[in-house]
Each structure stands twice: as structure tokens, then as C-alpha cells.
Amino acid sequence: MTCPASQIRPTLPVRALQVRHRAAGGAGLASSAVWNARRCRVPRRRPFCAPAAAMADVSERKLQLSVLLAFASGVFVGWQANRLRRRYLDWRKRRLQDQLAVAQKKLDLA
């Protein structure tokens, strides 16, 4: 049942409506207002799992090229990430070795 926009109220859980219904004596204007609030709810939005539109007509050659391009870009990005990681690890190793050398020199002097 649809209601005019002026009558739409937020819906309550069933248990809360039952408590209000009993508190109102089970009859009369108060209880009918509570049950009308239950019936006049805001319409739900469309679900996200709606059927998708038909797939666009893509040629086999374009599909192969796009898959090849995606693969090649993934390989390139992975290669560059590994180079950066190696550079960072080499820098950290050099820094820790320098710190160790400074600490050993201080121990030798003491």
C-alpha cells in the first residue's frame, strides 16, 4: 500500500509496534496510528543485483588486445615495484651496517 508523502513515517521494528499497540489498549486512534505507521513505509530502493544490461558487441581482436595490454601493464608495474623494493632493502642494509660500525667503534674506544 502506498501512502502520500505527508503520511510517510519511519518504520519501527515489529516488537516496538506490539508494545505501543498494547500500551494504547489495543484499540482506538493511538493504536491505528501505530499500525498505519507500519503500513506506510518508505519505498525500498532497487536492489544492487539488478540484471545487467547486455554486453556490448566487442570484436575478438579488440578483446585479445585489451587482455594483452592488461597483462603487460601488470608485469611492468610488478617489475618496477620489485626494483623499488630492492633499492629500499639495499639502502636499509647499508644504513644498518653503518650504524653497526659506529657502535663497534664506540665500544672499542670505551
* Structure confidence at residue 74 (pLDDT): 98
pTM above threshold 0.85: no
The residue to which cell 581482436 is assigned: 61
More confident site: 36 or 71: 71
Amino acid at 45: R
Nearest to 38 by CA among 65, 14, 71, 73: 14
* Structure confidence at residue 16 (pLDDT): 64
Nearest to 55 by CA among 67, 63, 47: 63
- Hey, how many other C-beta atoms are within 10 angstroms of the C-beta on 34? 19
CA 87, chain centre distance (Å): 34
Read off the pLDDT of each residue in 93-107 and give the average, rounded to a whole number: 96
| Tens of pLDDT, residues 68-81 | 999 999 999 999 99
pLDDT of residue 39 exceeding 80? no
110: which DSSP letter? -
